[in-house]
Amino acid sequence: MINNFTNNAFLTFARIIKLRLPDNMVSLLNQIDNNKLPKHIAIIMDGNGRWAAEKGEERLFGHFHGVESVRNIVEGCAEIGISYLTLYAFSTENWDRPQPEVNGLMTLLAETLRKEIPLLNKHNIKLHIIGDMEMLPQFAVDALQESIDMTNHNTGLNLIMALSYSSRWELVNAVKKIGLAVEAGVINAAEINQETLENYLTTKSFPDPELMIRTSGEFRISNFLLYQLAYTELYFTDTRWPDFRKENLYEAIIDFQNRERRFGKTGLQIQQEEAI
Ligand code: FPP
């Protein structure tokens, strides 16, 4: 893998503004090939509860500290030029958690997104939400709408928050809408294909993730982007979400760049295609 200060835009920029980066960060950034960055990274931010319990604290303490990781990773993705970042912030199943935790999380999500609008604008980040908005309390919907509207003009990183989201909800919803479109004569049932279904998913404007990271040592997908992850590279780390930082993100990207993605083809076919 060929990479140096000259082909790493962020390192060059950091040098120009004399930003002091720790040596391990520079070394990791130097290993990243800017021409092979994943366009879309999706993350299951897991382990807030366990991180808090290990410190003898309440679960919300972990979520609160998880926000610092969100900030750090969003900034990290924007800096190195990732185009799409999807964060699994609240699943459909999370509604079944104890009410104080649900209320605390809703307030934290709404307040954080509203408070971070200046940071999002500073980094040219456009916010999107996927999920069942009808389930959210009105104060959260208002805060989210404000953040979406105020970042709508941005053209850099697309930050997609999966909120009250689950794949099974999304797929059932899509099938219902397709059924209605068939009934109304808008779609011919015999012509339904993958593209039809994709057009009815909440992710229709985004490419599929190329890299999916799950923190905190669980090896599950947990109802997250089940259709969209068909050919995604999966990366699991023991690091708890509140401890996850840019360095950990860079390690995941380096790991991704060292994999051979075959999409059902043979290794030889891929090598021949790359040689053209
Ligand atoms: C999973 O850890 C984490 C969540 C369900 C919530 C994630 C939310 C945050 C990181 C705060 C997000 C803020 C913004 C602005 C996106 P867990 O509670 O399942 O942890 P455990 O598996 O250790 O119990």
Give the tokens for residue 64.
Answer: 């609160």
**pLDDT computed for residue 10 by the predictor:** 76
- State the distance from the centre of ligand 1 to the C-alpha of 64, rounded, in angstroms: 9
Q: How distant, in Å, are the alpha carbons of 29, 59, 60, 234 from that of 165?
A: 33, 21, 20, 20
**pLDDT computed for residue 232 by the predictor:** 97
Domains plus CATH for the chain? 7-165+207-258 (3.40.1180.10)
Q: Which long-range contacts (CB under 8 A, 24 or more apart) does 246-252 make?
A: 246/25, 246/72, 246/73, 246/75, 246/76, 247/24, 247/25, 247/28, 249/41, 249/73, 249/76, 249/77, 249/213, 250/25, 250/28, 250/29, 250/31, 250/32, 250/76, 250/80, 251/28, 252/41, 252/211, 252/213
Condensed to tens digits (0 to 9), the pLDDT of residues 34-45 reads 999 999 999 999
Ligand 1: which of 43, 46, 127 to mutate, judged by most atoms within 8 Å of the beta carbon? 46
**pLDDT computed for residue 7 by the predictor:** 44
Side-by-side strand order, sheet with 233-236:
126-130, 158-165, 84-91, 40-44, 211-214, 233-236
**pLDDT computed for residue 17 by the predictor:** 66
**pLDDT computed for residue 264 by the predictor:** 82
CA distance 109 to 251: 27
Whether 49 lines ligand 1, by a CB cut-off of 6 Å, is yes
Condensed to tens digits (0 to 9), the pLDDT of residues 186-231 reads 999 999 999 999 999 999 999 999 999 999 999 999 999 999 999 9
- State the distance from the centre of ligand 1 to the C-alpha of 47, rounded, in angstroms: 7
Taking each continuous run of H as one helix and of E as one strand, the counts in the chain are 11, 6
**pLDDT computed for residue 211 by the predictor:** 98
Name the residues annotated as catalytic. Answer: 46, 94
In ligand 1, which atom is closest to the CA atom of 52?
A: 23
Give the tokens for residue 149.
Answer: 């509207």
Condensed to tens digits (0 to 9), the pLDDT of residues 16-38 reads 666 778 888 899 999 999 999 99
Whether 89 lines ligand 1, by a CB cut-off of 6 Å, is yes
Share of the chain above pLDDT 70, in %: 96
- Residue 2 binned pLDDT confidence (cut-offs 50, 70, 90): very low
In ligand 1, which atom is closest to the CA atom of 64?
A: 11
In ligand 1, which atom is closest to the CA atom of 116?
A: 15
Condensed to tens digits (0 to 9), the pLDDT of residues 254-276 reads 999 999 877 887 888 778 888 87
Residue nearest to atom 10 of ligand 1 (CA): 66
- Residue 8 binned pLDDT confidence (cut-offs 50, 70, 90): low
Whole-model pTM: value is: 0.92
Q: Which helix (H) or strand (E) holds 155?
A: none
